[in-house]
Amino acid sequence: MLLIPDSVVRFFHRMASPPHFYAFTERLMPWLVIIFLFLTGAGLYGGLYLAPPDYQQGDSYRIIYIHVPSAWMSLFIYVVMAVAGAIGLVWRIKLAEIVAISSAPVGASFTFIALVTGSLWGKPMWGTWWVWDARLTSELILLFLYLGVIGLYGAIDDKRVASKAVAILAIVGVVNIPIIHYSVEWWNTLHQGPTVSKLDKPSIHVSMLIPLLLMALAFNVYYLIALIQRARVELLQRERNSQWVKTMVMENKQ
């Protein structure tokens, strides 16, 4: 049986409180921005300057430092959105609902970037901007799922009801995540197979791998920044009549 330390339980219990979440994230934000800028600078410098050209693709492969982390984030954010939606659906935790809907626009943006950069990369490599293979088609479906979540939430005035509808849609759409991940192994496709997550050893040189991982970390931190910003706005809109919001507004006016 997994034992969770009491300090961890207390931390997440406090984070479920809207006033504590708002105050904590306000203190956290400057540190996240600094970390993001450092990781992005190091990743881009390593990927665009230090990493050698690929022996087959030359310098055109360098788009992977945007494309691959964006593709990873498109899957990761959707899973976060679905898990948060499920938590909000089962335990009625308001912040979980807010995390779910606040993740959707960020995830949609990463998915769009992955599709566009993939097309830019595919043209010189495959000779075509687009092909209806399993990986690309399922990634496009993921974009439609994100847009569906955003549209459904905006179409329902009662945001608690909207959060329930969004949670159900997000949970159902999770079935697409393993399809995207394993599509290059299950079906014959133009898209190359895994090079970083292979169990034996990555098919990418360490001088190229390290900047890629730095960019992946940078994109994760960016997601956290964007999520917090959107969640704080959504939280204030939902809690605008709460006493803690009125108190905070009065203190800021003084």
**How do residues 152-187 score in pLDDT, each as one tens digit?**
999 999 999 999 999 999 999 999 999 998 887 765
Report d(CA 144, CA 88) in Å as an integer.
22
Counted domains in the chain: 1
pLDDT band at 203 (very low <50, low <70, confident <90, very high): low
For the entire predicted model, the pTM comes to 0.92
Residue 50 covered by a domain: yes
Residue 63 covered by a domain: yes
pLDDT band at 134 (very low <50, low <70, confident <90, very high): confident
Residue 19 covered by a domain: no
User: What pLDDT, on a 0 to 100 scale, did the predictor assign at position 68?
Assistant: 95
Whether 199 shows a pLDDT value over 70: the answer reads no
Nearest to 63 by CA among 118, 139, 115, 140: 118
Residues β-bridged to residue 40: none
User: What pLDDT, on a 0 to 100 scale, did the predictor assign at position 133?
Assistant: 85
Residue 4 covered by a domain: no
Residue 116 lies in domain: 30-233
Take residue 34 and report the two structure tokens written for it.
């600094």
